[in-house]
Chains A and B, each alone.
Chain A
Amino acid sequence: MQLDLLVKKFQAKDVAAFERLHAMYAENICGVINTIVRNDDLAQEICQDVFIKVWNNAESYNPAKGRFFTWILNIARNAAIDEVRSKSYKNNKKNLSADYFVGILDHGSSAESKVDAIGLKKLVKALKEKCIQVIELLYFKGYTQKEAAEELDIPIGTIKTRNRSCISQLRKNLKL
């Protein structure tokens, strides 16, 4: 309910409400963008643009059509994918979709600097690789179930149930 109220205020162009929503989602959204662009500074820059976009398109969010988080997530994914597809980015790095974001944690200096990085690392490490794959494709990269099934070479009917059990595992790990 509190979130609903915040979102309503934000849609009425209340900057304070927007600041609170930003605090709630910015780090996560920046992380999602980073899984796609694989560049900390660039991810941070796109992340800022995404929140400006979110502010400017506030009135287009409809609570009946999905979660506020899902709405921002979608904007962020599209912005990051647009960036990756742009020519300027292609010149910087090549073929980024191959490996999964565990890699970022393994040799990313940024994650090291974070206070709870070790705890988060545990969180991810505790997940099976096939869970990380399906979650990353569906949530962070915006693949459809069909696309994810093709990518992972598993039947489409499996995606839904695997995703469900992987998220459950993640939730369990969070409570540890």
Chain B
Amino acid sequence: MNVEEYIASGILELYVAGQLSEDENLEVHGYALKYPEIMKEIEEIEAAVLALGKTVSPGLRHNFEIISDIIDIQKETKVVELGKKDVNWSWYIGWAASLLLAVGLVWMYTQNQDLKKQIQVTETEKQTLEEQITNANTSLEKTQELLNTIRDKNITVIALGGQEVSPDSYAKAYWNKQEQKVFIDAKGLPEPPNGFVYQVWSLKLDPLTPTSIGLLEDFASDQNKVFTMNNPNESEAFGITLEPEGGSESPTLEQLYALGAIAAP
């Protein structure tokens, strides 16, 4: 690069005036560092402008103390501002605390709702349990009643054996002849298929005369499977057949599930 030409171009004067673009400034700065002549030229231009500026100065004293005072005050002011910020902390803490409180309240409310729900659930469970206890008591009473009944001295026990249709089936009849009642224990019978029902017959053997004494209704839902029915007949045997719902006039012997004769007294 021709340094003299560069200097003569007037670009350095514009550089000191601050009239160049950012790129041009960087370029001049680079050349100034590289070529001492350019640096010297810049300094002389600057000195000339400085000297000219002085001619129009107000001529009042340039007291640096005023400026350093202001700088000091600024520093102090900054410290005071920090202090103010400390005061502001309480403001922030206040808001943070109330926010926390609000969140806390919402949380407590939810917790409360949950507890209420739990109490309801427990209440329901308790009711169910009480019902179960009542049911158990009732069923216990029934069982005892049943036990008492079959322990009665007038009771005749008849075992009804399984027949061809269902050899494994069995049943028992407890007959109180005086009270004309028969209790059928049907625990040994399979559940009847849908649309069918067991029918109990009192039988006379010579000649064979069946008389219906009742149906084992609601077989599946009866837990004890002990059914009470009236029997005014002079029975010699009992039989249980499977009949279409509602029962039949006469027994369907092909569906005879259990049969047992009464031992002669």
A residues whose Cβ falls under 8 Å from a Cβ of B: 15, 19, 22-23, 25-32, 34-35, 40-41, 43-44, 47-48, 51-52, 55-56, 63-67, 69-71, 73-74, 101, 104-105, 108, 110-111, 113-114, 117, 120-121, 123-124, 135, 138-140, 142, 144-145, 160-161, 163-164, 167, 170-171, 174
Contact = CB atoms under 8 A, between A and B. Distances in A.
Contacts of B13: 160, 163-164, 167
A31 B54 contact: yes
Interface residues of B, number: 42
5 contacts: A28-B54, A31-B54, A40-B60, A123-B55, A171-B45
Contact of A124 (B16, B18, B52): B52
Nearest to A166: B13
Contacts of B113: none
B43 to A, nearest CB: 8
A110 B59 contact: yes
Given A48-B70, A123-B52, A171-B44, 16 more contacts: A31-B53, A40-B59, A44-B58, A48-B67, A52-B67, A52-B74, A56-B74, A65-B29, A66-B15, A66-B18, A66-B25, A114-B59, A120-B55, A139-B17, A170-B48, A174-B51
Nearest to A135: B52
B14 interface: yes
B73 to A, nearest CB: 10
Contacts of A64: 25-26, 29
Contacts of A19: 64, 68
Interface secondary structure of A, over-half rule: helix
Contacts of A67: 15-16, 42, 46
A73 B18 contact: yes
Nearest to B32: A67
A73 B52 CA distance: 13
Contact of A27 (B16, B54, B68): B54
Contacts of A29: 53
A14 B70 CA distance: 15
A164 B8 contact: yes
B55 A160 contact: no
